[in-house]
């Protein structure tokens, strides 16, 4: 049975792929840097942040292709969104975790600080060039921990971000549909989607916050066992420790979620095949 929706979802087959990737690369770069470092980030850490384009494009491609694949078996949008969101996060995190590990060390060195076992190196009294710093950090990580050093906290990240992504997409479409049914037909879809994004993010954050707290401890404190970290957290702070940072997480995620949703939905609408442009309401 066909899934009739008030807000039609633009699927993979509806897109002009050349436009999608051309606009997508620019949009992913802007969103990623602005989310992590603000406006100044546009001019700082460009080399490392450039590699996040790969994870961003792999995420959206995996999401859209997985939706298309799952649609052969079901037209249930919630199932398609859940499976596609989880799969996309798995692919993206496999690329993002090593980049984030290097980026974190690079940012600490720029502040003139050491991070863990890695010390700041200077050349002729001045900081190394960005590429030199990045190359030096990669070498230090590999020398200290081998290839595994680039995937510290990888399992914890997967256990956090896969459920978050898998839950976010179904709730995003659910909230958009509910808002659409409560508002006039001529209400801009982009506005409803911009509201639905933060609502979905708040829901997903609430459900996955316990794992995010554990992930943060694993990565920051260098712990190796998720189970032991969980037990230690419960012993020290009790069940309420698993809700730590939830309100701040929701508040901080709201602006970036709005930017991402508006950006992605605009990207898909701009990338529509010419014959479908007039069939989509903004």
Return the structure tokens found at 248.
């701040």
Alpha-carbon gap, residue 20 to 12, rounded angstroms: 10
**Residue 246's Cα: distance from chain center in Å?**
17
pLDDT grade, residue 53 (50/70/90)?
A: confident
What's the pLDDT tens digit per position in 123-158? 444 444 444 566 777 777 777 777 777 777 788 788
Output the six-digit token pair for 151: 């995937």
Q: How confident is the model at residue 193 (pLDDT cuts 50, 70, 90)?
A: very high
Q: Tens digits of per-residue pLDDT, 57-96?
A: 889 999 999 999 999 999 999 999 999 999 999 999 888 8
pLDDT at res. 258: 92
| Selection from 176, 258, 138, 142 nearest residue 9 by Cα | 176
pLDDT in tens, 210-251: 887 777 777 666 556 777 777 777 777 777 777 777 888 888
pLDDT score, position 123: 45
Residue 70: both structure tokens together: 């799952």
φ/ψ of residue 126, rounded to 5: -120, 155
* Residue 281 confidence (pLDDT) above 90: no
Tell me the pTM: 0.73
Maximum separation of any 2 CA atoms in the chain, in Å? 70
Of 44-58, 122-136, 156-170, the least confident: 122-136
Note the pLDDT of residue 34. Answer: 58
3-state secondary structure of 126: strand
Q: What is the pLDDT of residue 195?
A: 96
Total residue length of the chain: 282
Residue 245 backbone zone (phi > 0: left; psi -120 to 50: alpha; other: beta): left
pLDDT at site 244: 77
Q: What is the DSSP letter of 245?
A: T
**Do 270 and 18 contact (CB within 8 A), yes or no?**
no
Quickly tell me which residue has 């995190």 as its tokens: 93
**How far is 198 from 54, CA to CA, in rounded Å?**
25
DSSP conformational letter for 193: H
pLDDT for residue 43 is more than 50: no
- DSSP label at residue 272: B
pLDDT tens per residue across span 84-129: 999 999 999 888 888 777 776 666 665 554 444 455 454 444 444 4
**Which domains, and CATH codes, for the chain?**
12-279 (1.50.40.10)
């Amino acid at each position: 049975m066909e899934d009739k929706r008030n807000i039609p979802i633009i699927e993979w087959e509806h897109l002009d792929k050349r436009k999608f990737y051309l606009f997508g690369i620019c949009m992913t770069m802007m969103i990623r840097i602005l989310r992590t470092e603000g406006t100044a980030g546009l001019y700082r850490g460009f080399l490392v942040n450039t590699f996040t384009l790969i994870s961003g494009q792999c995420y959206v491609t995996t999401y859209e292709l997985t939706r298309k694949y799952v649609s052969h078996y079901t037209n249930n949008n919630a199932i398609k969104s859940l499976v596609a969101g989880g799969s996309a996060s798995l692919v993206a995190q496999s690329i993002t975790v090593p980049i984030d590990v290097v980026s974190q060390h690079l940012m600490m060195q720029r502040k003139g600080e050491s991070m863990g076992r890695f010390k700041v190196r200077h050349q002729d009294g001045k900081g190394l060039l960005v590429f030199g710093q990045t190359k030096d950090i990669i070498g230090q990580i590999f020398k200290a921990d081998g290839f595994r050093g680039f995937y510290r906290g990888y399992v914890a990240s997967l256990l956090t971000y896969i459920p978050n992504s898998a839950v976010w997409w179904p709730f995003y479409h659910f909230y958009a549909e509910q808002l659409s049914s409560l508002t006039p037909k001529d209400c801009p879809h982009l506005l409803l989607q911009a509201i639905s994004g933060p609502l979905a993010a708040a829901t997903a954050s609430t459900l996955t916050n316990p794992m995010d707290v554990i992930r943060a401890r694993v990565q920051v404190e260098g712990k190796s066992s998720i189970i032991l970290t969980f037990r230690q957290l419960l012993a020290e702070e009790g069940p309420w420790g698993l809700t730590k940072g939830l309100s701040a997480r929701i508040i901080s995620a709201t602006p970036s979620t709005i930017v991402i949703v508006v950006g992605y939905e605009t990207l898909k609408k701009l990338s529509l095949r010419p014959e479908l442009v007039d069939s989509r309401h903004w």
